[in-house]
Structures are given as structure tokens and as C-alpha cells.
Chain A
Amino acid sequence: MTALELVSLLTQAIYVAIFLVVSASLLREPTRSRLNMTLFFGAITFAIAQSRLLAALGVGPVELVSDIAGVLVLAMPYFLLRLVSDFAHVPTVAKRAAEAGLVVAAATLIATQGTLAPAAVVALVAYFALVAAYCAIAFVRAARRSTGVTRRRMEAVAAGTLLLGAAIVVAGLRPLLPSGLAGVPSGLTQVLALASAVAYVAGFAPPPIIRRAWQEPELRAFLRRAASLPRLPDTPAIVRALEEGAGSTLGARAAIGLYEPSRNALLFQDPHGVLPNEVGPSRFLAWRVFETQRAEYYADATRAHPDLAGAYRGHSVASLLIAPISAGAQRLGALEAYTDHQPVFSEDDLELVRLLADQAAVILESRALIDGAARVRAHEEAARLKEDFISAAAHDLKTPLTTLVAQAQFLERRAQSDPSAPADISGLRRIVQEARRLSSLVVELLDASRIEQGRLVGEREPVDLVELAREVARRDGYRTHRVKVFADAPVVGSYDPRRIEQVLENLVENAVKYSPESSEVRIGVAQRNGQAFVDVSDEGIGIPPEDLARVFDRFHRGSNVDDRRFAGMGLGLFICRGIVEQHGGRMWVESRVGTGSTFHVELPAEPRS
């Protein structure tokens, strides 16, 4: 066997092998593109088989059989053109021209007995080469639109087609060359044919190792992005990033639907607005995949789901790739990729979309773990705060109780040992005073716990803040200070009068408590831009900067506050802020140590009539 014969045998073996692979895939799941691939390789396989068979039988060429083989080989570029038209637009003119050319070529071949005229040979070769070149260009264009394996495969098909065309050109023109040069084209034809066969293997039946190597760059890029995804601020942001990554990896648009158990539905946030936002148990393709947990490729979305055909067509969704996103037995959702054209090599994309869906599952799971840990931490923090609140409350309640118990027992003892002794008025007064203190602490505690439930503010009615401020300023308890109200006109809003009065009282009480005797406490009431403003200023000890941020916290008391003189639980401002906020307002403070403090209250007001 000569080297040329070996090359020829190898080439033929490869073509037959590809035929077997594509026809097997056609039998497994028939699609139009698989049919065209099978026809393409079937044609050449028939030509190879007939010549080998006849040679083996020792029979010379049979006219009819070799005519059929010749026509089939001539039809190869036409089958390729049909394949192209499955996934890309081929003008009808081009299709009709190729068909007409094929009919003419076949007729020429069959009509001719024996050797073809040189002009006919040139015409046949030109036809083959032209259609093959057209297909090759179409494949190159389609390759540019795709990514990863699909792109490489299309490029390989384009290369194989060009090489095959070249082999046919060289072989066809051989009889026209001077006899001295005949040996060169024969060898060249064989080499070109082998090269085209190899390119076709890579294109139509790539071995897994090549497939993986081609897939790697895209996957690697995706994984690089993926590593940082679980740390994104929230799940929607992660889903968006995953969709973008999967889309660019697949060369398609991608959307992720997450399963929401409470609604028993997949929730999409498809930025392209193609998919419905919520997909429950139904014939929707995404739900089907989610339920069966099997990745699916729908070559023709309109056919797979006729109800939505209009929507799919309207958004130019031709084919869909859907893979379930699951972590172990837990079903998280589905990844859906869709394109406006049918991918030729869907099986690769299906594998890729499955890989991406698995990655998405890992990322979403780690996010869920992070969220879970944060929830546990928040829960522990809440429990700790509650514990702190209770123990602080208990501490503050025990203080007046201590005096009450000790004083009462002391009086009891005195009365027992000396029944005729006069009543200890100051001791009795102390009991009354501490009982009152205890009772107001209990009220404070109840208010503070009501704030948390948002039940502090009762029925609202129109209240004039100026009038309310004047009333508070007149109270006997503030005789030691000059409490003055500054206002131009009534400021009316819809408030719970008792609670707003409590806020004013508390602020004035604080101002009086923390500023020197006979100093001035100013209450300013004004209305600006539809909002009511109440400011209470004092000339007191002020609040150190380090305490400013925490004055409204529960149980916080200024570090420069002398607890002996200023009794209280440190709940007053916490309650005030709660009342103001539940009225839709806000509260803040400005202060300088040694100069004084101003507490600001902003509340929604009624428009001035």
C-alpha cells in the first residue's frame, strides 16, 4: 500500500465514522439539522462504500451506481446549505439557485456516457466550489455570533468545507492539466481531503477532550467572576450577576428563576422582559424542567409551548436551553438561556448550561449559608438586647424598691418598739415618693415595650403645637427656670395629643433638669415647608460628643450626668423618638458641653389655611 493509498483509506474511514456518529444522534433524537448532517455524510459514505465494495468484488464501475454516487457527492454542498439555513438566514434566491444548479449538474452527469467534456467538468467543479464557499462563509459568520465550543465547532466546519471544496477543485481540474504534472494534484487532493475530514471530526463529532478544552476559557471566566458573587449585597444582585455571566458564557440571553416555596412558583426577574415573572405549576417549559430536574433543549420554543408562541416570536426567542438549579436534593430554581437563532450544536450548549446551573446552585447555596448565619447572629443579638433590657429594667426597678422595703421595715420596727412615738412624717413621705417613682418607671417600661410593637400612638386629632407648648411651659414644676415659648402663629397637625404632650414635657423636664436654676429654657414652634418644627433649648451642661449619637438609645444616660441628682431610667428620649417617628416625624439633637443643648422635633403639619 502506498502512502497515498493509506491517506485515502484514512480519509474515507474518518468520513464513514462521522456518518455513523451523526446518524446515531439522528436516530436518538431526530432534528432537522441532524438530518441534514446525516445526509451530508451519507452522500460521501455512499460514494466511498460503492467504490470499495465494487473493488472488493473485483467488478468494474457500474454505470448507474457511479452516477448515483456522483450526484450524491455533487449534492454535498447543497445538504450543507440546508444545514446552514437551519440556524441562519439563507436567502431563498440562493437556495433555489443551489437546487437548480444541482438538478442541472445531476442531469449532465447522468446524460454523459463515459468521459465528461472538460467544460462540463469545470462547470460541475465550479458549482461545488461556489456552494461550499457560500456555506463556509455562513459558518464563519455564525461562529462570530457564538462562544466557546459552538464557535470553535463552527469554525472547524467552515475550515472542513473550504478544504473539501479545494480538494474537489484540485481533483476536478486534474484531467485538464498537462500529463507531466498529473501526479502532484493527486497527492494534494488526498491531503486536502484528509485535512477536511479531520476538520469535520472537530466540527461535527469533537471528542470530549477537545470539547472540554474549547469550553474552558468561558467556564474559567465565569468561575473567576463566580468566586466573588456570594458576597454581593443581596440575592437579586447575585442572580443578576449570574444571569449576565451565564449569558456571556453561552452567547445567549439568560434568566434565572428561583423557587419560592410559599408561592410554589419560580420567580424570575428577567431584565429582558421576555419571561413571565412568576411561573407556577403549569406547562411552562421552565416549570417542566424544574419538576423533572432534567436539563432540556427546546430547538423551537414556539412548537414546544404553542400557548406562548406569540410571545416567543414577539421577543424573537427561537430556542431555549433550560437546566435545573439544585443543590443536592434541594431544588433551588432553573436557569434559562434563550437565543434568536437555533444553535446547531445544542448538545454542547446543553452540557454548558448544566455546568453553569450547577455553579449557580453552589453560589446561591453559599449565599443562603451566609444569610442563615447572619440571621442566627441577628437573632442572638435580639435575644441579647432583650436580656439586657430586662436586666437593666430589673436593676432600675430594684433601686426604689430597696428604699421602699428598708424604709417600711424601719417604720414598722419603730412602731412596734415604741407604739406611742409620733409618726415619722419624713419616712412616710419617702415611701410615697419612692412608690410614685416606681410607678412612673413601670409606665416608662410599658411605653418602651409598646414602641417596639409600634402601638404607642393612639387616636389622632388636630392639635395646635403652640398652644400645647404654652400649656406645658406653665407647669408648676418648672418654676425654678424661665420656660418661654416662641411662636408666630398656630402650628396645627394631626397628632395623639397625650403623646405629643409627653414628648414636650419630657424635653422641657430634661432641659430644666440639666441646666442651672433660673436659666432660660426656650421652646420654639414654627412651620416651614409643610412641616412643624419644635425646638427645645437650654443653657445646661450639654451632651459630650461621644454621647450625642446614643442619647436616643434605650437606657443610655450621658456620661456627665450625675445619677444621684437626676433619677430616671434613660428611657425618656427613646420613648420620645418612638412617639415622633410613629407620627411620621424625626428627632435630633445639637449640643455643646457647657453651653447647652437643643432638641429638634420635626412632625408633619396640616397645610396653613
Chain B
Amino acid sequence: MDDDQSIVEVVSQILVAEGHEVVTAGNGAEALTLVDGEQLVLLDMRMPVLDGWGFARQFRAAGKRAPIIVMTAAENARRWAEEIGADGYLAKPFEIDALIAAVERHARGPR
């Protein structure tokens, strides 16, 4: 999920081409209502309505275990990832190889 529509479109285009199934959302609240049984979450931090921190808290509180990868343009990407107990992070702008590798590493495999 990302509040920037262009990023959402490009990232999902790339991951779909890699054979993943992708569900997109513009903020944390929307994402919480949309998905179930996901294997990996790509999470932007600064979003309206429900931001990355809020999403991670509610996501874990709901008992979900799927790995989370933080995507952020902020300089403290790594600290933010640690703050929410994420499994990895991608500092924007990222190379698509890095994106694909991170997804492959953490996802349990394409469905």
C-alpha cells in the first residue's frame, strides 16, 4: 500500500509480471478491510487516514503473521522498520531488482 497512486501502479505492475498476486490500497485503513490470507505486506509509512505505524499495530493485533516490508522515502527508513517490527525495508527510490529480491526472500512463494 502507498498513498501515491503512481507508485502503487508501478510496483503492482512489476510484481504481477513476476507472477505474484497483488492487492493494492491507498492507506492502512483501506488495506485492513481489503485483504485476508496475504503472504507479504509492502507498507508505505506516511499515509493519510491510517499510517504505517497504525496499520502495523492493528495488523499484528489481529493475529496476522505475514512479513511486512517498509517502503519509505524518509531518511530513517531503517529505524522506522525497526519501530514497527518489520521484516525488511526498501528506501525509495529503490531498484526493481531490490524490490523483487525482497519480495522473493520474504514471501513464502507465488500462489
Contacts and interface: CB of A to CB of B under 8 A. Distances in A.
B7 to A, nearest CB: 5
A404 B92 CA distance: 11
A410 B94 contact: no
A563 B3 contact: yes
Contacts of A405: 93-96
A430 B9 contact: yes
Contacts of B3: 563-564
A440 interface: no
B41 to A, nearest CB: 18
B75 A406 contact: no
Nearest to A560: B48
Nearest to B92: A402
A394 B72 CA distance: 12
Contacts of A400: 6
Interface stretch (B11-19, B62-70, B79-87, B102-110): B11-19
Contacts of B46: 395
Contact of A398 (B11, B17, B93): B93
Interface string B37-48: 000000000111
Nearest to A558: B48
Interface string A407-432: 10110011000000000000100100
A409 B96 contact: yes
Report whether over half of chain A's contact residues are helix, strand or loop; otherwise say mixed: helix
Nearest to A404: B93
Interface residues of A, number: 28
B26 interface: yes
Interface in A560-593: 561-565, 567
Given A410-B13, A434-B6, A563-B47, A394 B94 contact: no
A401 interface: yes
A433 interface: yes
Given A391-B75, A410-B13, A402 B95 contact: no
- Chain B CB count within 10 A is highest, among A394, A396, A563, for A563
B17 A410 contact: yes
B10 interface: yes
Contacts of B10: 402-403, 406-407, 410, 430
A413 B96 CA distance: 10
Contacts of B6: 400, 403, 430, 433-434
Contacts of A565: 5
Contacts of B11: 406
Contacts of A595: none
A399 interface: yes
Contacts of B94: 402, 405-406
Nearest to B47: A563
B48 A399 contact: no
A401 B96 contact: no
A403 B48 contact: no
Contacts of B74: 391, 395
Given A391-B75, A561-B48, A563-B47, A402 B13 contact: no
Contacts of B48: 561-564
Given A563-B47, A564-B4, A402 B93 contact: yes
B23 interface: no
A394 B73 CA distance: 8
B32 interface: no
A427 B16 CA distance: 14
A410 B96 contact: yes
Contacts of B50: none
Contacts of A410: 10, 13-14, 17, 96
Contacts of B73: 394-396, 398-399, 402
Nearest to A410: B14
A310 B97 CA distance: 91
Contact of A402 (B5, B7, B27, B47): B7
A564 B94 CA distance: 20
B92 A401 contact: yes
Contacts of B9: 430
A395 B75 CA distance: 8
A531 to B, nearest CB: 38
Contacts of B4: 399, 402-403, 563-564, 567
A413 B17 CA distance: 11
A396 B4 CA distance: 11
B67 to A, nearest CB: 21
Contact of B92 (A399, A409, A562): A399
Nearest to A397: B73
A399 B96 CA distance: 15
A401 B71 CA distance: 13
A407 B17 CA distance: 13
Contacts of B13: 410, 427
A406 B6 CA distance: 10
B77 to A, nearest CB: 10
Interface string A372-410: 000000000000000000010011101111111111011
Contacts of A391: 74-75
A410 B6 CA distance: 14
A382 B11 CA distance: 38
A410 B17 CA distance: 9
A384 to B, nearest CB: 15
Interface in A422-454: 427, 430, 433-434
11 contacts: A394-B75, A402-B4, A405-B94, A405-B96, A406-B14, A406-B94, A409-B95, A410-B10, A413-B96, A430-B9, A564-B3
Question: Ordered nearest first, which 10 A-B pairs have the shortest CB separation?
Answer: A398-B73, A402-B93, A403-B6, A402-B92, A564-B26, A401-B93, A405-B93, A409-B96, A406-B10, A563-B3
Given A391-B75, A401-B93, 6 more contacts: A391-B74, A399-B92, A401-B92, A403-B6, A406-B10, A564-B26
